[in-house]
Structure 1
Amino acid sequence: MTLQDAITHDDVGELYSSIESNEMLLDNGCTGPFPHTPLHQAAVEGKTNVAMEIATLKPSFARKLNKGGHSPMHLALQNKHYDTARALMTLNPKLIRVRGRGGITPLHLIAGEEGNNEQESKEPLELLAEFLSACKSSIEDLTSQYQTAVHVAVDKNNLKAFKVLLGWLKRVHLTEILKWKDKYGNTVLHIAMSQGRPKIIKLLIPYINVNTKNFDDKTALEIFRRNPSGDLRLAIRLYWIRYLTILFTSNLSLSQFLSMELTRHEKLVLESGFGDKSTRDMALIVTTLIATATYQAVLSPPGGYWQDNSSNTPANSTVVAANSSAIADEKPHKAGEIILNGTNLHKFTGLNSSVFMLSILVICYTAAPLLPRTILVYSLMLYFGVAYIVALTTEFPRSDARAGYCIMAVFMSSLLYYLAAPLVDYFWYGRIRRGIDTPGRRVCKDRK
């Protein structure tokens, strides 16, 4: 009984019988730099049971390349043995990132795979989705032509695989990978334009600047003009996008951007220290407590509120006669108004409101480094500030109404100004960042 018999019959029992008769059986002929191991052979033939057993006994075989530059998973995919490839993936998800001939990984292979009919194309798509889910960082791998799996799918006109990749990128917030350029400076949009793929172009437009240039100094729109898809609506939409892009984005190379002075948004993040998580956490805890305390002070001011209405009835009234002289001297008031008035009220309101507004601003500026994900925080803080000011002014006694309106105007304008400043800076900074023309080789954060 030979090793080849065990592989052919996909019989694990025969495999171990062969090993018992020759314990060096699996290593025979596998010592060279590019061996065709028994695992390679099992993958070629799609013998999943034996392949898994060999990979368990000899894990190093799963990453070895044969003379053709292929790993066992590459060979399984090339021969459409998807169950074998899936089994190897479950054994070690990092096998999806093994670079073979031309720098092609199993993910690149499956992204370009398309069946001849609905049934045949279903399994590669499912395996593609499983690959992405099992090894998130595999999407960063590039071929020797600097192509991502998305480049491969578009280049092969594999619309179904492209939709799977795009949907996954959107869900894991990695759509910036769509902007990466290949060896010739082409993004996936450049490739779709050159091949006249209107369905793919429509899906890509929201994520890639049509004015991005490749290394031949050609924009995606210029390529579209030379290779029109025949879709008039798409052509009109692209021209509108071109002009809007010019209005709302800059046009800088990466070196030009890095040579610029820091924007105010960058200075805020750098100098405030709010880019550091521990600093943000400490600031948020303290300012939240202060904001809560100062807001509560407005709801429970010193002296409390009037519990009744009074219009300061004339002195000869029987009502006055029945009450004390102190009530007769009271100023007109309504139930729910603050009893505190005059200079003391102004001091309390001014100091408490200043502290409250500062705490609101610190919370918003703490959220600035995380924009646009924290835009909801800005909105809530604005509503919180408005609620405070409205609550304060409605409680002012009639005798101090004018002072209340002045305080409301000052604090409302200050709130709007200081909340708007970081937002304006961020959107200006975003305009510059969106216009940077960069090859894009790695994602900015560690997502592995």
Structure 2
Amino acid sequence: MLVNRLKDTQLPKGRSEDAAYFLCLARDGNGRNPIHLVAMYGRLAVLQELLDAGFQAALEKTDEGGTILHLCVKYNQLEALKMLVDISKDAWFQNAKNEDGMTILHMAIHYRQNQTIKYLLDSSQVWVKQQDAKGRNALSLLRGQANINTEIESSLRLIGARPGGHDPEEYQVMLKERSNAMMVVLSLIATMAFQAVVSPPGGLWQDDLKEGPNPHRVGEPIMAQTHPTYYRCLIRASTVAFVSSLSTIVSHVSLPCFALTDTFVLFDGAGNCNRSIDLCYITSCAGTKTHER
């Protein structure tokens, strides 16, 4: 086998394993690595050898966005699919979506692979209520076909599939995705609030003036003298936005065990930050326009 032959070559210690590892990750013109091709063609012995060398290559997606499990279903390689599912034991991997938002269960129904569907429902960790890019779950896809397999429909109903429904696991996925997006928004708000204080609207005085109607020093905010009320509102709103965003980020990062509760705290904190940054924008615009007049 390829991996064993690489190990037998006279390379410095560690080099043969490295070569085997990188060869397993090499891609062809269609964005598929060797383990993808082996699974597609059902070469189970070679597939086992490559999996023994490491599972990382099997986790790689193709350039089209699908996983090795999608390729197994697409090319009707049930035995290869069983081998990969038995080894992975990972629900997220088994429920990954391709570029069309389809899981391996969606694809098995689409290609009318009844044996694959039965195996996935009986022996894997597929989530039957996940939806594809068009909002269809497994039962909806099945009902859209002619000559519906009543046994499979009964199995889906028994598991609890309903058109338009979601699995509890899918809610966790959705919450995680929204939580990650909210972290990006909070980081942006913190940056904007910090920048509003460091570089306030109207700029900073560039000279010293000890006498006159507006005595000032270099670096002092112009808005603080020309529009003190607006400037105080700007500082207060920026401080609230900055502290709220940072404290929410810290609580989210340091309390992973309270994932669901912390996610709602994250959304609430983001709402407070958003209101504060809105106030910053309004006061800065008001101060700038008044200064221009």
TM-score, normalisation: structure 2:
0.51
Aligned length: 187
Q: Which of 203, 207, 218 is equivalent to 2:136? A: 218
Matched, 1:142 2:61: yes
Q: How far apart, in 1, do the equivalents of 2:56 and 2:119 lie?
A: 23
Alignment CA distance shift 1:245-1:183 (3 Å): closer
1:282-305 deviation digits (Å, cap 9, x = unpaired): xxxxxxxxxxxxxxxxxxxxxxxx
- TM-superposed deviation, 1:149: 1.1
Q: Which of 242, 249, 255 is equivalent to 2:168? A: 249
- TM-superposed deviation, 1:156: 0.5
Specify the alignment match of 2:41 in structure 1: 113
Q: Which of 135, 148, 154 is equivalent to 1:236? A: 154
Q: How far apart, in 2, do the equivalents of 1:108 and 1:259 lie?
A: 31
Q: How far apart, in 1, do the equivalents of 2:170 and 2:93 lie?
A: 19
8 Å Cα contact 1:103-1:144 kept in structure 2: yes
Flag structure 2 segments of 5+ consecutive residues without an equivalent: 184-247, 265-293
User: What code does the residue aligned with 1:104 have?
Assistant: R
Flag structure 1 segments of 5+ consecutive residues without an equivalent: 1-45, 58-87, 115-123, 262-266, 276-368, 370-424, 433-448
TM-score, normalisation: structure 1:
0.35
| Overall identity of the aligned pairs, in % | 22
Specify the alignment match of 2:106 in structure 1: 190
Matched, 1:204 2:120: yes
Specify the alignment match of 1:94 in structure 2: 22
User: What code does the residue aligned with 2:120 have?
Assistant: L
- TM-superposed deviation, 1:167: 0.5
Matched, 1:163 2:82: yes
Cα RMSD, aligned residues only? 4.2
8 Å Cα contact 1:196-1:229 kept in structure 2: no
Alignment CA distance shift 1:210-1:260 (3 Å): farther
User: What code does the residue aligned with 2:143 have?
Assistant: R
8 Å Cα contact 2:139-2:162 kept in structure 1: no
- TM-superposed deviation, 1:150: 0.9
8 Å Cα contact 2:129-2:167 kept in structure 1: no
Q: Which of 64, 70, 83 is equivalent to 1:151? A: 70
1:14-37 deviation digits (Å, cap 9, x = unpaired): xxxxxxxxxxxxxxxxxxxxxxxx
- TM-superposed deviation, 1:128: 0.9
- TM-superposed deviation, 1:105: 0.3
- TM-superposed deviation, 1:249: 2.8
Specify the alignment match of 1:131 in structure 2: 50
Q: How far apart, in 1, do the equivalents of 2:82 and 2:148 lie?
A: 22
1:57-114 deviation digits (Å, cap 9, x = unpaired): 8xxxxxxxxxxxxxxxxxxxxxxxxxxxxxx889623311111111110010011113
User: What code does the residue aligned with 1:103 have?
Assistant: G
